[in-house]
Structure 1
Amino acid sequence: MRNTGLIYDSTEQTPAISPAFADLLPPLSDEQYAALETDILQNGCYSPIIVNEDMAIVDGHHRQAICEKHGVSYRMAVFAFEDDLEAQRWALDTQKARRNLSAWELGQVALKLKPELEAKAKETQGERTDLFQNSEKGSSKSNTTKELADVADVSTDTMNKIIQIDERAPAPVKDALDNGDLSVNAGYNITRLLEKLPEEAREAAAERAVDLAKQRKDYKAAFDISLSDMNALTKEDEEAADTIRAALNDGALSVNGGKEVARTLLEMPEDVRESAVADAEGLAELEADYRKKSQTVDDNADIAKAYNAAFACMADIDGAERDVRIWIEWAGIRKDEISGLIEEAKNAAELFSQIVKTLRKVHEQEVMPYEDAVHENRPEQG
């Protein structure tokens, strides 16, 4: 990108409106637009509209529209860009400094550039056919996510969550994010929880989950309240307290979660509290179930890593007598320590003997086939 130095007055040239740039960023709010309009009417359009060499507006659509509406003259500065993608990225970087865009809004803008980024990556790959021959299929997706994160100026983890929400979240969740009622993390967590429900029930459940999240967002100390709130609820609404106690006893709700629900319910009108109790309990159960499954996935991953490490170590030794003697000598193993090593080696031999038996069973299909076991226990792809 470079400034060509060319400046045109609106009386000399008429700029073009390109959807690639005009629809890139979210529109100004009514308040922001009104403030900009007032400033231009009072002080004129003192910042030039940025156009590319084809005279398409890259930055300044709102200012140009206001000027045209009120007959205010304006200037246009011509910038040269390598392509539309570079111009779009420049426009986003410029607006990030001016506007308080949320992580969700930035991510949505970045996703509009995804087709161009992927096309450019394919062009680059076509020029260097050796680049991805030995890489896994997921690597290009990972690289695109990282590049989108760079464009949006968010972490790769946040960008990945935005992508998952954009692809899989019901409309109420996306609407809440658009309106600033949910954070990306909250939207992602709700999306993951809703996937545990039948598809036909997700839309209604999403609306309830978003309502709960909005209510919780209003209480800044939701996770720091004291147990006195639980006691207050007991005096005020025994049925609600019983529901929370039952969820706590069943392990469906953590203590912090119970306090949070109690605080939320206390702030609700009595006539809506009964239905809200059921929603809070149901959402807590979904969350607990998800956490338990996530813990199982983590435990299984640790087991797999341990076995991989054990076999990797075995691959480096062959047990030859000469090598064992070298090990004893170079490791400085004393004679009184050898008996303990003998026991450890015997235990390892018995352990690997048991592994051999299981591997044979799997190989002979006497236990669950590998593909079914993996499908049942592996984490969902993010």
Structure 2
Amino acid sequence: MQIKINDMLRDYIEPLTEAEHSALERSLLAEGCRDALVLWDDVLVDGHNRYAICQKHGIPFKVTQNTSFKSMEDVMLWMIDNHLGRRSVSDFQRGVLALRKKDILAQRAEEDNARIQAEDASIAPPEPEAEAAPAPKVRTSREDIARAARLSSNTISQIEKIQKTATPELVEAVRAGTISINAAATVASLPDADQVAAVAGGKKFLQQAAREIREQRAASRPPKAPKAVPEGEGEAEGGHSGAPWDGPSEVEQLRLEVAQLKDKNAALRAENAELRERIATLVDAS
């Protein structure tokens, strides 16, 4: 059988690092290819690295057919579940895979609902007492995805942010373990040029950039409103029973908060400009 390589399936899962590929090659040369390659008809689904190494060195291998696949989405879901079960997959990779699974299931649910509505519109309406069978629930909430990836919901949110706003350089730093998911999600809030410069500064500078961004955010939070004083507890010590002072009005309080936020915004802009200058200095010196 002539095995076919689908480029999309080959690149769907995170590629091996050079060290991982070298370790796999040594293992295959020493022990042979013990696990069968998985095919969908004549398309290779699982074992792209093993197949390439076996072809290179003439190592015999076995194949097995998975007859449960009905579509390319079935293949992708199987690949995702297969890799989520492996210990060697990093937290970031598991999160990315789980989010891909979420997208596929959500798209399927939309297509199924549209198909059901179209079918219902083409037939006579059911009797009033007849109840339609509820559609099966597709588990695509953040909690479900986090559970499948064995991660927290907060970590899934951070990975989503990295996917949406991080530059390729920052994403690669997360994959390589140079920066944590938490810190990368924070640095991803910077403009692209600043993200690239931060990555170029190395691990310590990435950590420093994330720390300074968190400090800026903490400083920009508006102060908590003072607790209301219960009636009768605001009397003066001398026993005066006059009406207690209620403090500034709501409008005055809002004006005060706006003024404070403007001051903090100006301070943050200055700190951001200083941070950029420090990034540029460190990059030039490296």
Interval containing the TM-score (normalised by the shorter chain): 0.5 to 0.7
Runs of 4+ in 1 over 6 A off after TM superposition: 341-344
Which residue among 178, 182, 185 is the counterpart of 1:181?
A: 178
Letter in 2 for 1:169: A
Which residue among 265, 276, 292 is the counterpart of 2:219?
A: 292
Unaligned runs of 5+ in 2: 118-138, 234-242, 263-286
1: CA distance, partners of 2:37 / 2:173: 33
> Rg bigger for which structure?
1
Report how many residues are paired: 225
User: Shift of the alpha carbon at 1:119?
Assistant: 1.3
Determine if the alignment matches structure 1 residue 163 to structure 2 residue 90: no
Letter in 2 for 1:173: L
Which residue among 39, 42, 45 is the counterpart of 2:33?
A: 45
Determine if the alignment matches structure 1 residue 116 to structure 2 residue 101: no
CA 1:87–1:155 in 2, change beyond 3 Å: closer, same or farther? farther
Alignment of 1:183-198 (within 5 A): 183-192=180-189, 194=190
CA 1:216–1:208 in 2, change beyond 3 Å: closer, same or farther? closer
2: CA distance, partners of 1:203 / 1:342: 55
Give CA deviations for 1:7-55 in whole Å, capped at 9, x if unaligned.
Answer: xxxxxx2222223421121222223222322332333322111112x33
Mapped contact 2:37–2:51 kept (Cα < 8 A): yes
Give the structure with the higher percent helix: 1
Q: Percent identity?
A: 23
Which residue among 81, 102, 121 is the counterpart of 1:93?
A: 81
Give CA deviations for 1:319-369 in whole Å, capped at 9, x if unaligned.
Answer: xxxxxxxxxxxxxxxxxxxxxx9979xxxxx99xx9xx96xx8xxxxx88x
Mapped contact 1:21–1:58 kept (Cα < 8 A): yes
CA RMSD of superposed structures (Å): 4.2
2: CA distance, partners of 1:186 / 1:61: 33
Give CA deviations for 1:198-229 in whole Å, capped at 9, x if unaligned.
Answer: x4xx5236533773644687xxxxxxxxxxxx
2: CA distance, partners of 1:283 / 1:29: 26
User: Shift of the alpha carbon at 1:84?
Assistant: 3.1
Partner of 2:151: 154
User: Shift of the alpha carbon at 1:167?
Assistant: 0.9
1: CA distance, partners of 2:218 / 2:54: 55
Partner of 2:64: 77
User: Shift of the alpha carbon at 1:88?
Assistant: 2.4
Letter in 2 for 1:203: A
2: CA distance, partners of 1:285 / 1:99: 34
TM-score of the pair, normalised by structure 2: 0.61
Partner of 1:63: 50
Give CA deviations for 1:77-134 in whole Å, capped at 9, x if unaligned.
Answer: 11123543343233233334445222122233344445423311312443677xxxxx
Mapped contact 2:158–2:181 kept (Cα < 8 A): yes
2: CA distance, partners of 1:81 / 1:146: 27
TM-score of the pair, normalised by structure 1: 0.47
2: CA distance, partners of 1:178 / 1:203: 20
Unaligned runs of 5+ in 1: 1-12, 130-141, 218-279, 308-340, 345-349, 362-366, 377-382
2: CA distance, partners of 1:148 / 1:165: 16
User: Shift of the alpha carbon at 1:71?
Assistant: 2.7
Letter in 2 for 1:57: L
Mapped contact 1:171–1:203 kept (Cα < 8 A): no
Mapped contact 2:38–2:64 kept (Cα < 8 A): yes
1: CA distance, partners of 2:194 / 2:93: 25
2: CA distance, partners of 1:107 / 1:285: 26
CA 1:185–1:82 in 2, change beyond 3 Å: closer, same or farther? same
1:51 is paired with a residue of what secondary structure? strand
CA 1:120–1:43 in 2, change beyond 3 Å: closer, same or farther? same
Mapped contact 1:170–1:191 kept (Cα < 8 A): yes
